[in-house]
Structure formats: structure tokens, C-alpha cells
Chain A
Amino acid sequence: MLRRTILSALLAALALAPAVTMAADTPGVTATEIKIGNTNPYSGPASAYGTIGKALGAYFKKVNEEGGINGRKINYVTYDDAYSPPKTVEMVRKLVEQDQVALLFQTLGTPTNTAIHKYMNQQKVPHIFVATGATKWNDPKNHAWTMGWQPNYQTEGRIYANYILKNVPDAKIGILYQNDDYGKDYRKGLHDGLGEAAAKKMIVMEQTYEVTDPTIDSQIVNLKNSGANVFFNVTIPKFAVQAIKKAHDIGWKPLHLLNNVSSSLGTTLKPAGLEASKGLITALYMKEITDPQWKNDKGYLDWVAWMKKYYPEGALDDQANAYAYSVAQTLVQVLKQCGNDLSRENIMKQAASLKNLELPLLLPGIKINTSATDFAPIEQEQLARFDGERWVLFGELYDAAKR
């Protein structure tokens, strides 16, 4: 009985031939609306970044209240992926296939974007200004539908190498980096920038930590004992605070190069102690919003006004909210440039045709440039030294595109 019932069901099912088709010209775009999709970690281990996704929505609210872009309002659809790649795949497929978004914007995280990289390029849906500093997003030849935004970590590593070669000829470099692709990208940038021979001669010790470690005190002691006079500190804020404090406490005074990831006064330098932070050097591309030198800057004041009106629950000392504001402005510029041709091809074309775009919260002089062969929007950074109160910019703008 059971067998016969199942068999007849099977036959009935096979009699029908599978056929699934989809057709739509420019999904997500109507005369009054542009639908854009996003994933962010609103829950899970990386939920601190979730504020970016919320701030983006708040910025589009402002754009819509001011009339939208070329008469079209932005319909921003964002889902939680909890920083879990399978969930990202599911949510992004939902955005592309079911919600029919025109493009994907600012999906956050390196593993999560890696999981959808191939899919987005097969589907030929713009996957632009992804929120990660990995180097692989600048690959227009093989991945013509994916583009990064922020300067990548390797570029920044090379900036420090450049500085060391010019200013510290007798450098003995100790490196502390997080044991993942983020840390390794920085390390590679430094190695490449120094060149093989100099790297071999100068780097005296490399230490790593896991993001789950409770402390990095022993690594700092090891680095001091190695006799290093340059400390390349590739850590996220929690560990950067520990590193700055520990080095200060044990009386180690190297040339301390701190990665941009942890350059915030609010989250790193103040908790570590402003006195202990004196003399730190970092590379910046944005105005540090907690730095007092910008407190009368128009760009900063506009940002604060926007935060208070559209995103009052967001933190005014969280650089991520300034980051979201700036990257949203970049997308708005792309969509403006598109005019009335909002085909996916044209969106990519315009994203790759940004010319000398300056944004209010980028450092003065930093310009966004892209082209058909250059999918790295921000490639300039400037070194800054902490004087105990603020970051003091010095030297020239470093431009990775010109090297």
C-alpha cells in the first residue's frame, strides 16, 4: 500500500516538466523608486558594526525627504546576516531574486562578501562599496560587478613601510597582528613596501593574537625584549588599548605605528590614556570625529546635525556612523550620475566613473577616483602623529594609485 501510494505520487510529479523562468528589465527601478539591498550584522559576534546599516538607512531617509535622486526615492532594504556566510547567501539571494533590488550596497564583512562574490558576478548585479578593507574587491577584470570603497589594508601597510624606509634607517621592527586575513593583509603590505631584503633585515619579531584572546600582554613583553625600536600595531580597538597601555607601563618607547582600524580617540586613545598615546603615528583618510580639531569644521557640524535629526539613537563618538554617512554620499553621487539610465550596466559604469569626488568627512585633499580598470575608490591616506590631544597631520598625501 505504502509503496504503491508513493510510486503513484512519484509518477504524477515526474509527468510535469520543470520550468522556471524570470524576466524583468531593470529590477528594482520604477519611475518613483530605486530599490537597493544590504546585509549587516545586527546580531551575532560583529553586531557592533550593525550601526553602519542603520546609519545608511538614516541617510537615505534624509535624501528621500529632500526629494530623492532625479525624482526617485531610495527604498533601502536591509537584512541581518549575523556575520554568518550561509545567512548572507540566503539574505542576498532573497534581495536579488525575491525583493528584486537594483543593486547591492555596503554588504559588510570579508567572509560574508566572499560567500556572495561569485554569485553577484554571475547574476550581474552591482555589488558596490562593500564594507571591508580586503584587497580582492579591486579586481575589475574577473569581478566586474564588485567594488570596494575604503583604502585597503595592504595599501596602508605600504604607507608605513615607506615612512620607515625614509625616516628610520636603522629600524628594528616588531609586528603584532590579528591572526586572520585582516591582520595578514596589513603584514603583507608592510613586507611588500619594505621589499624583500629590507624586510628580512629590519623585521626582528612577529607576534599574533586571536580575536578571542583575553589579553596580549605577553606579546608586548616579547616584542620589547626583541629589541625592536619600531612597533607596527595591527590590532582592533580592544587590543590596541591594551597594547598602548602595556607598552607604556613597561617603559617601552618604540616608534609606535597604529593601524587606522584603531585610530579613534573615543574608542582607543582615551581608554588607553592620552599621555600613553602621545607620539603614536597612524594613517588617516577620514576626519576622526572625536578629534577636537574638527569641532568647528562644517563637514563635522553638518554630520552632527544629521545624526541628531535622523539617527538620534546612534552614538556621536562612533566613527562607523561617519563612515556610513560618507559611503552613502558616494552612492548618491553614483545614482545622480546615472541620470535616467538606471540599468545595472550603467550603475556599474558610473560607479567606475567617479572623478575627483570630495566628501565632507574625508580629510581635506582626499579625492575619490575610479575607472574601468580601477575599482578602488579611496587610495589616498595621510600620516598623522598624536600630540596628546589631537591627530596632527604631517607629510604629503600618500597616493597608492600613483605608485
Chain B
Amino acid sequence: MTPRARAVGVAAALAVALVLPLFVSNFRLFQFTQVGVYAIALLGLNVLTGYNGQISLGHGAFYALGAYTTAIMIDRWDVPYPLTIIAAGVLCLVAGFLFGIPALRLEGLYLALATFALALAIPQILKYFEHWTGGSQGIVLSKPNAPWGLKLSPDQWLYFVTLGVLVALFVLARNLLAGRTGRAIVAIRDNPIAAQAMGVNTALYKSLTFGVSAAYTGVAGGLSALVIAFVAPDAFNVFLSITLLVGIVIGGLASISGALFGALFIQFVPNWAQDISKAAPWAIYGVFLILFMYVMPRGIAGALRLALARAGRRGTGTRA
């Protein structure tokens, strides 16, 4: 894909995103806000799993940590919500980095299992610290209103907030991954020994990648607390972590735009499945999953890239 085509694509996507609130109901907008939230979480997981090759089955835990950071700060201390989102990111950065250090000793499936333990533990841990988390009752929040007298509904405002955070974090991820840091991260995935031989501090990079990945997911969790206006342990069960993994694989591993496609998939496909069959929605969902994997083994982003490259070759006779 030429840089020009990519610029047009990004601009078109942004334009659609910006005018969307004019054309869809508040409910649809709420769904797209959730897509934005998932996309941020998926990008975080993709940096870790897609680019760095570390499999995590426990990112739901960081999502929960971010959500509760935001909820507790707003509920207990009346902190302005933008600060709580930043705090959620920072806290998850630290937590992810610290978890990344012992995780260095674990490779592949062993790491997947260790992170899975995290996902299993989090709902119970949340119930244990009832004094802070409200136990299984959770914490109820209010949706923030639009500031500066803007004539936007809370749903519209949260949509733009999420969109803003999403764009900022996507640009950040792109810049991070396009430079030497990104090359180091990918080199560790492809051949850790060669990477080390070339002078990459694999231990530091792996832990840092874990931290950054967790930070993204934490920010997403914090935003989700605002969007849903409620947090409870039941929202952060193992299934959430697995859903996130499904999202990055379907969207496209090691692809920034893949996070967006994956988010659309995990938001809308379960609903479609339910519309198709009330009796066996998860069977339909499974069929969708298998179809997607069969038709687009490199995810939606990979398939698009391939299609664009083919179209480009046919159109100009040159390789894109």
C-alpha cells in the first residue's frame, strides 16, 4: 500500500468517525464507543502478542484494574475523570512491567497459563477488597456531561472522548512501532537470540512491552468504567480475556488497524449471532470464528492488505 493510499484511508476513517454521531442514535453511538474502547485494549494486547510474541490470556485483569482505578478514584475522591484515565494507564504500566519481570522466565504456552491465572484470580480479588471495590455489588458511577456548554449528550461526549484517546494512542503506537523500538520488539519475537546478539536488551524490552501493553488495556478499562457507568467483578471474568485474544487474532496480529477490525468483530458478531439464532448463538459465533480464520488466516487487516496489494498491482502494473 502506498503512503498516499494509507493517508486517504486514515483520513476517510477519521471523517466517518467524526460525523458518525450525526447519523446514528445514542444507542448505536454507545456501541461504537465500546468498539473504540475495545480497540484500545486490543491494540495493547496486539503490541504484546502480535509484535512481541508474548501470549497473554490475562489482559482482562489489566482491563479490570484500569476500570476499578477509574471507578474508585471518582467514587471515593471525586477526582476529575480525565485524571483517572491517566492514572489507570500509569498504574497498569507499573503493574504490567512488574508482572513482566517474572514472566520473562516463561515462554509461549507457559506464559499463557501464568497470565490465565491472573484472569482467573481477578474477580475474586476484587470481591476480597470489598471495602474499596464494593464487593460483588460493584460501584455505580454517573456519566460525565459535556464540558464548556457543548450541546452534546453524555453518550456523544463519551464517544468523542474515546475517539480522541483512541487516535492519540494509535498515533503513539504507530510511532513506537515504526522506529528502532518497534524493530527491537519484533526482532525479539522473530529470533530472541539474534536480537540479543545485535545488542537488544531483551529482558528490558520484554518487560517494557508488557508494561505498555497493560497500560493501553488499563486505559481502555478506565474508559469502559465511564461508558458503562458501573463496575462489578462479574464484568471481568475469564471470558473477557479470551474475547480480547479472539479480537486480535481476527483483526490481524501485528497490525495497528487490525485492532479496530477486531473490536468491531467482538462487539457486533455476538449480537448478530443472537439475532440469527436465539437457541444456539454461541454455535453461530463459533461458525463465524472458523469462517473468518479459514478465509482470512492473517486476520481482517491481513486480508485487506493482500486485497489492496493485488488491486494495486493490477491497476498500475507495479508492486505496491
A interface list, Cβ under 8 A from B: 1-2, 5-6, 8-10, 12-14, 16-20, 22, 42-45, 78-80, 82-86, 89-90, 93-94, 96-98, 110-112, 114-115, 117-119, 179-181, 210, 212
16 contacts between A and B (CB under 8 A): A5-B8, A6-B10, A19-B22, A42-B278, A84-B235, A89-B228, A89-B229, A90-B30, A90-B31, A98-B28, A111-B234, A112-B234, A114-B230, A118-B140, A180-B127, A181-B137
Q: Report if B204 contacts A (CB, 8 A).
A: no
Residues in A neighbouring B257, C-beta threshold 8 A: none
A10 x B14 contact (CB < 8 A): yes
Residues in B neighbouring A45, C-beta threshold 8 A: 234, 237
B151 x A18 contact (CB < 8 A): yes
Given contacts A2-B7, A10-B15, A84-B239, 6 further A-B contacts (CB under 8 A): A6-B14, A43-B281, A84-B235, A84-B237, A111-B234, A181-B137
B145 to chain A, nearest CB (A): 13
Residues in B neighbouring A210, C-beta threshold 8 A: 124, 127
A9 x B27 contact (CB < 8 A): no
Q: Report if B175 contacts A (CB, 8 A).
A: no
Which residues of B (217-258) have their CB < 8 Å from a CB of A? 224, 228-235, 237, 239
B25 x A86 contact (CB < 8 A): no
A123 to chain B, nearest CB (A): 11
Number of interface residues of B (CB under 8 A): 47
CB within 8 Å for A97 and B138 given contacts A9-B11, A115-B232: no
Task: Give Cα A2–Cα B3 distance, bound, in whole angstroms.
Answer: 9
Task: Give Cα A181–Cα B233 distance, bound, in whole angstroms.
Answer: 12
A20 x B25 contact (CB < 8 A): yes
Q: Report if B135 contacts A (CB, 8 A).
A: yes
Partner of A94, one of B12, B18, B27, B281: B27
Could you tell me the dominant secondary structure of chain A's interface residues?
A: helix
Task: Give Cα A12–Cα B18 distance, bound, in whole angstroms.
Answer: 9
Produce 1/0 per residue, B78-92, CB < 8 A to A.
000000000000000
Residues in A neighbouring B8, C-beta threshold 8 A: 5
Which residues of B (1-35) have their CB < 8 Å from a CB of A? 3-4, 7-8, 10-12, 14-15, 18-19, 21-22, 25-28, 30-31, 34
A86 x B27 contact (CB < 8 A): no
B135 x A180 contact (CB < 8 A): yes
A86 x B14 contact (CB < 8 A): no
A180 x B136 contact (CB < 8 A): yes
Residues in A neighbouring B11, C-beta threshold 8 A: 2, 5-6, 8-9
CB within 8 Å for A114 and B31 given contacts A9-B14, A16-B19: no
A386 to chain B, nearest CB (A): 30
CB within 8 Å for A12 and B15 given contacts A97-B26, A110-B137: yes
A5 x B7 contact (CB < 8 A): yes
Partner of A10, one of B3, B18, B124, B224: B18
Residues in A neighbouring B140, C-beta threshold 8 A: 114-115, 117-118
In the complex, what residue of chain B is closest to A184 when comparing beta carbons? B135
Residues in B neighbouring A18, C-beta threshold 8 A: 21-22, 151-152, 156
Task: Give Cα A69–Cα B226 distance, bound, in whole angstroms.
Answer: 41
B22 to chain A, nearest CB (A): 6
A97 x B234 contact (CB < 8 A): no
Residues in B neighbouring A20, C-beta threshold 8 A: 21-22, 25-26, 153, 156
A179 x B237 contact (CB < 8 A): no
Could you tell me the dominant secondary structure of chain B's interface residues?
A: helix
* Interface-centre pick from B4, B15, B151 (highest chain A CB count, 10 A): B15
Task: Give Cα A97–Cα B29 distance, bound, in whole angstroms.
Answer: 11
In the complex, what residue of chain B is closest to A44 when comparing beta carbons? B239
Partner of B4, one of A1, A79, A84: A1
The 7 closest A-B pairs by CB, nearest first: A13-B18, A9-B15, A97-B27, A5-B11, A2-B7, A115-B230, A111-B232
Task: Give Cα A114–Cα B25 distance, bound, in whole angstroms.
Answer: 24
Residues in A neighbouring B136, C-beta threshold 8 A: 110-111, 180-181
Task: Give Cα A115–Cα B71 distance, bound, in whole angstroms.
Answer: 13
In the complex, what residue of chain A is closest to B157 when comparing beta carbons? A18
Partner of B274, one of A80, A83, A98: A80
Residues in B neighbouring A110, C-beta threshold 8 A: 136-137
B156 to chain A, nearest CB (A): 6
Residues in B neighbouring A9, C-beta threshold 8 A: 11-12, 14-15, 18
Partner of B224, one of A6, A14, A83, A86: A86
Task: Give Cα A82–Cα B270 distance, bound, in whole angstroms.
Answer: 11
Task: Give Cα A107–Cα B55 distance, bound, in whole angstroms.
Answer: 37
Which residues of B (130-181) have their CB < 8 Å from a CB of A? 135-138, 140, 142, 151-153, 156
B124 to chain A, nearest CB (A): 7
Task: Give Cα A180–Cα B142 distance, bound, in whole angstroms.
Answer: 24
A2 x B14 contact (CB < 8 A): no
B234 x A85 contact (CB < 8 A): yes
In the complex, what residue of chain A is closest to B156 when comparing beta carbons? A18
Task: Give Cα A401–Cα B264 distance, bound, in whole angstroms.
Answer: 50
Task: Give Cα A15–Cα B18 distance, bound, in whole angstroms.
Answer: 11
B135 x A181 contact (CB < 8 A): yes
A16 x B22 contact (CB < 8 A): yes
A67 to chain B, nearest CB (A): 25
CB within 8 Å for A85 and B25 given contacts A45-B237, A212-B124: no
Q: Report if B110 contacts A (CB, 8 A).
A: no
Task: Give Cα A8–Cα B8 distance, bound, in whole angstroms.
Answer: 12
A243 to chain B, nearest CB (A): 21
* Interface-centre pick from B19, B135, B234, B235 (highest chain A CB count, 10 A): B234
In the complex, what residue of chain A is closest to B13 when comparing beta carbons? A9
A8 to chain B, nearest CB (A): 8
